[in-house]
């Protein structure tokens, strides 16, 4: 008696199905991801499928299966030995967003374990690892055993994701980057959540930025992304919530790697900008709520516990927390207020692009960054400025960079007869 034939999926059939709006099964998706990593599905075929997903989307069952297949493509970290509830945070990226540098040790000082796998900057948004690498000796690349050891010692760790964590996402992201399929909410959500779920944390808070300097510029899109990721987290057993936070103006006053580390340490020492402190405390309270801890993060920030956790973490990863972070760029140039009045707008995107052009960011992932380059916001919206008063200070090692940075800042500043409406940087909380 002949054995029954097992039907193997065909990549072209799956492309046609998604192109025509038909859903893929979990088995088909699992085969597709495994076959792509194994070389059975070519880049051009996966590119076609990604474009079909860009236009047709993924329903919730497809998205759950897609995310699970990316998680299963690699290893999962084991964090059970910390003796503390585990909780992490992920930001969708912004300008001057040095929250992670403050938040991880702050929440750790309140009794949680915070395993934060972070990335590098690309384009106008900065990367947490680039910022911390401005500290001499600090190491981003840790083995799973080293990561666990730092987590036990300091209560928190910020490091790069290893190559074994959701490798399918790494391959797919590189393909999306060159095929115009980055801006897809299902693909964004599965990319973020596959890594965070594989990381092994029990709880996760998402900081979804909204506005001119954010990846998601409109609130409706940001809400949909937040809800999609919160749902994915819950479906995979991770307690997840999200905060929508504003990113029309740079967060804090420092934009640039060493400049942002310096501002983060000042905030941990009790001298942080009000908007940065408000966002950080809101995220900390949400993380502690999901972790089931009754603690006051404002008190931990005020009494030095958070700073002590930060110093322990930096030391455990090879850095010197006592090295002064005022790394001096060779050249500085001011952008002055054209008139007296209330500063009504300081465009986050323009400031981010200016910092990038000064050397603080990169156009390609393999490019280096200059830790000293960046922009200081000497005035923020809601403050009165005099004509000729410096509003921004540009820093670079190469004076030739100033002209293109100033081009990016054309129209970035708006001054008017009255202050802008007062509004909290935290817009809303999203959970199930």
Cross-sheet strand order for the sheet of 374-377? 254-255, 374-377, 390-396, 331-336
Which residues are known catalytic residues? 90, 169, 176, 191, 195
Check residue 4 and give its pLDDT.
47
**In a shared domain, residues 199 and 99:** yes
Query: What mean pLDDT is reported for the chain?
Result: 94
**In a shared domain, residues 246 and 386:** no
**How many other CB atoms sit within 10 Å of the CB of residue 53?**
22
* 162 close to 320: Cβ distance less than 8 angstroms: no
Listed residue (139, 162, 159, 161) closest to 151, CA to CA: 159
Q: Is 296 within the bounds of a domain?
A: yes
**In a shared domain, residues 265 and 359:** no
* Residues 198-245: tens digit of each pLDDT: 999 999 999 999 999 998 999 999 999 999 999 999 999 999 999 999
**In a shared domain, residues 168 and 289:** yes
Check residue 123 and give its pLDDT.
66
Which residues partner with 263 through β-bridges?
none
pLDDT at 81 over 90: no
**In a shared domain, residues 411 and 265:** no
Q: Is 277 within the bounds of a domain?
A: yes
d(CA 61, CA 72): 16
**In a shared domain, residues 312 and 335:** no
Q: Is 322 within the bounds of a domain?
A: no
**pLDDT classification of 361: cutoffs 50, 70, 90:** confident
Region 334-352: what's the mean pLDDT? 97
**pLDDT classification of 6: cutoffs 50, 70, 90:** very low
User: pTM of the entire structure?
Assistant: 0.94
The pair phi, psi for residue 342, each rounded to 5°, is: -85, 130
**How many other CB atoms sit within 10 Å of the CB of residue 171?**
17
Q: Is 74 within the bounds of a domain?
A: no
**In a shared domain, residues 308 and 359:** no
**In a shared domain, residues 352 and 240:** no
pLDDT at 102 over 90: yes
Which residue segment(s) compose the domain that 21 sits in?
11-57
Q: Is 130 within the bounds of a domain?
A: yes
The pair phi, psi for residue 428, each rounded to 5°, is: -165, 165
CATH of the domain at 408: 3.90.1170.30
Q: What does the block give as tokens for 281?
A: 């405390």
Continuous segment of H or E residues that includes residue 279: helix 274-291
Listed residue (95, 139, 137) closest to 118, CA to CA: 139
pLDDT at 181 over 60: yes
Q: What does the block give as tokens for 156?
A: 């928190």
d(CA 373, CA 182): 28
Q: Is 68 within the bounds of a domain?
A: no
pLDDT at 389 over 70: yes
Q: Is 66 within the bounds of a domain?
A: no
The domain total for the chain is 3
Alpha helices in 73-184 (DSSP H): 99-108, 128-132, 144-154, 167-179
* Residues 391-408: tens digit of each pLDDT: 999 999 999 999 999 999
Region 405-429: what's the mean pLDDT? 96
Check residue 5 and give its pLDDT.
46
The pair phi, psi for residue 156, each rounded to 5°, is: -155, 155
Beta strands in 251-311 (DSSP E): 254-255
Q: What does the block give as tokens for 115?
A: 């395993």
CATH of the domain at 213: 3.40.1030.10
**In a shared domain, residues 361 and 394:** yes
CATH of the domain at 39: 1.20.970.10
Region 300-305: what's the mean pLDDT? 97
**In a shared domain, residues 335 and 253:** no
Torsion sign (Cα): 64, 213, 89, 363: positive
**In a shared domain, residues 386 and 282:** no
Helix, strand or coil, per DSSP, at residue 406:
helix
Q: Which residue has the higher pLDDT, 367 or 170?
A: 170
**In a shared domain, residues 88 and 226:** yes
CA max distance for the chain: 92
Region 314-335: what's the mean pLDDT? 90
Kindly give the pairing relationship between strand 390-396 and strand 374-377: antiparallel
Q: Is 268 within the bounds of a domain?
A: yes
Continuous segment of H or E residues that includes residue 345: strand 341-346
């Amino acid at each position: 008696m002949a054995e029954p034939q097992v039907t193997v999926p065909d990549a072209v059939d799956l492309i046609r199905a998604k192109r025509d709006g038909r859903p893929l099964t979990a088995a088909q998706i699992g085969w597709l991801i495994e076959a792509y990593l194994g070389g059975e599905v070519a880049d051009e075929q996966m590119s076609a499928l990604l474009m079909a997903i860009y236009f047709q989307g993924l329903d919730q069952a497809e998205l759950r299966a897609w995310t699970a297949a990316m998680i299963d493509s690699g290893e999962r970290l084991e964090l059970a030995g910390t003796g503390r509830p585990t909780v992490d945070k992920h930001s969708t990226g912004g300008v001057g967003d040095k929250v992670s540098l403050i938040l991880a040790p702050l929440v750790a000082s309140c009794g949680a374990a915070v395993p934060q796998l972070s990335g590098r900057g690309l384009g106008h948004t900065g990367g947490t690892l680039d910022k911390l690498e401005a500290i001499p000796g600090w190491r981003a690349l840790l083995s799973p055993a080293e990561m666990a050891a730092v987590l036990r010692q300091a209560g928190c760790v910020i490091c790069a994701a290893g190559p074994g964590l959701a490798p399918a996402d790494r391959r797919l992201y590189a393909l999306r980057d060159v095929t115009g399929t980055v801006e897809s909410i299902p693909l964004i959500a599965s990319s973020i959540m596959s890594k965070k779920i594989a990381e092994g944390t029990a709880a996760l808070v998402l900081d979804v930025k909204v506005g001119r300097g954010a990846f998601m510029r409109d609130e409706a899109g940001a809400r949909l992304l937040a809800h999609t990721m919160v749902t994915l987290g819950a479906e995979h057993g991770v307690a997840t919530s999200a905060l929508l936070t504003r990113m029309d103006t740079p967060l804090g006053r420092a934009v640039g790697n060493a400049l942002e580390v310096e501002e983060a340490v000042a905030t941990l020492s009790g001298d942080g900008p009000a908007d940065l402190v408000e966002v950080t405390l809101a995220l900390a309270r949400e993380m502690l709520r999901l972790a089931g801890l009754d603690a006051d993060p404002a008190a931990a920030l005020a009494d030095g516990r958070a700073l002590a956790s930060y110093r322990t973490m930096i030391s455990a990863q090879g850095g010197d927390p006592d090295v002064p972070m005022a790394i001096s760029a060779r050249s500085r140039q001011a952008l002055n207020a054209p008139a007296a009045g209330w500063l009504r707008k300081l465009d986050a995107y323009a400031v981010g692009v200016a910092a990038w052009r000064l050397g603080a960011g990169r156009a390609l992932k393999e490019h280096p960054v200059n830790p000293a380059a960046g922009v200081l916001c000497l005035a923020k919206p809601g403050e009165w400025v005099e004509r000729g008063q410096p509003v921004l200070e540009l820093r670079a090692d190469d004076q030739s960079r100033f002209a293109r940075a100033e081009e990016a800042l054309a129209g970035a500043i708006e001054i008017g007869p009255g202050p802008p409406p007062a509004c909290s940087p935290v817009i809303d909380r999203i959970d199930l």
